[in-house]
Amino acid sequence: MFTDLIQTLQDNERFAVISHFRPDGDAIGSTLAMGLLLQSLGKKVQMWNADPVPQRYDFLTGADLIQPLPPALPEDLQVLICVDSGDLKRIGNEAMELFNKAPFTINIDHHHTNTRYAKVNVVEGGAAACGCIILKLVHALGVELTRPMADALYAAISTDTGSFQYSSTTPEVMRMAAELMEVGVDVGDINRRIYQEIPPTSFITQREVLNNMVVEENGTISHYSMPAGRKAELGVGLEDCKDLVDIIRVMQGVKVAVIFEDLENGLVRVSLRSKDPQVDVSAIAGMHGGGGHCMASGIRMRGPLSEAREKVLNSIRAVVRSLS
């Protein structure tokens, strides 16, 4: 699986690593782990993202190395690596321009809807997190798994498995977590920082969602819509709007939960989660130009919000009704 990737790493000296905008734990952890891995090989590496590192992950050693996108591709850059992005569009327009101008590109990802957009594509659709693939790469290269790498990979794997609650948590995943702990990962400390240090503004957003969520189809579908300007009215930011779909997903009886967010640029962000394996939200997302995993997917689609919502909900309703 890693033959072409390893050859590329050996043949070049100057790299950059990037991931999708509005990065989650897997995006940040995988970017950081890949960057640190390259440094351990003696390579020169830069790490970028269109958005800042979320506060909950800024404790990771080296997180400050993940910088804003440069205005232009560095002239001496040889290879640009994209991690944890199933579609090139997920990294944003400015990052896409840099990616398309890079002399050589690599795509490392775990989404089964991945579009194989790079010159070398390392895609393992069944992996629980992109961090799992990078840990395997560490083994394949025979390099030392350092504590900073292990912390970053634990953050990646833990967050993308729902803190090891999702069905993607296999025996292999638990063995990987154990290996990272053996290197020195302080599970209690990392879990506290990621899951138990929520800023007050996030509670304002959670209250908004719980007060205005809609439940339909006999309690099998839950959804919430955030119209344009609402974040400003609430006094909250982008980071406060992450993981909102998980709040309404946990209601008993719900099979599918959806968050619709008006991005104020003519686009609507849709986050979908399924609790029933019979409802493949990646297939539903694919109908509307999105993608992801069977149980967790996303879409960015043209608005207005009301029309986008009805299009997606009608697709979900059809699937849910077919199960009854």
Residue 283 belongs to domain with CATH number: 3.10.310.30
Selection from 282, 283, 278, 284 nearest residue 293 by Cα = 282
Residues 221 and 190 in one domain: no
Structure tokens at 292: 């992801």
Q: Which of 155, 175, 195 delimits the end of a domain?
A: 195
141 and 252, same domain (yes or no): no
If you compute the radius of gyration of the chain from its CA atoms, what whole number of angstroms results? Answer: 19
Neighbours of 301 (CB within 10 A): 17
Number of structural domains the chain divides into: 2
β-pair type (214-216, 120-123): unpaired
Is residue 16 located within the same domain as residue 53?
Answer: yes
Question: Do 244 and 288 have their domain in common?
Answer: yes
Looking at the fold, whether 275 and 247 belong to one and the same domain comes out as yes
Q: In what order do the strands lie in the sheet with 44-48?
A: 66-67, 44-48, 14-18, 79-83, 105-109, 120-123
Residues 175 and 223 in one domain: no
Q: For position 166, what pLDDT does the model report?
A: 87
Residue 277 Ramachandran class (φ > 0 left, ψ -120 to 50 alpha, else beta): alpha
**What does the alpha-carbon distance between residue 21 and residue 49 come to, in Å, rounded to a whole number?**
6
Average pLDDT, the chain: 95
Query: How much is the pLDDT for 95?
Result: 96
310 and 168 together in one domain: no
For residues 53 and 98, membership in a common domain is answered with yes
pLDDT for the residue numbered 172: 97
Query: 274 with 175, same domain?
Result: no
Distances (CA, A) of 3 to 6, 10, 33, 120, 137: 5, 11, 19, 10, 10
Cα gap 299→318, rounded to integer Å: 18
pLDDT for the residue 237: 87
pLDDT band with cut points at 50, 70 and 90 for residue 198 = confident
Per-residue pLDDT band for 1 (boundaries 50, 70, 90) equals confident
99 and 226, same domain (yes or no): no
Percent of residues, the chain, with pLDDT higher than 90: 90
Instruction: Supply 144's token pair.
Output: 């030392």
List the CATH number of the domain containing 38.
Answer: 3.90.1640.10
- Tokens in use for 56? 């909950």
Q: Give tens-digit pLDDT for 199-254.
A: 899 999 999 999 999 999 999 999 999 998 999 999 998 888 888 999 999 999 99
Does 303 lie in the same domain as 232?
A: yes
Containing structural domain, residue 204: 200-323
Give Cα 61 to chain centroid, integer Å.
Answer: 19
Q: 177, 195, 213 — which closes off a domain?
A: 195
CA angle, residues 75, 78, 79, in degrees to nearest 5:
125
pLDDT for residue 170: 96
Average pLDDT over residues 27-32: 98
Query: What's the predicted TM-score (pTM) here?
Result: 0.89
Res 8: pLDDT = 97
Last-in-domain residue among 195, 216, 245 = 195
**98 and 214 assigned to the same domain:** no
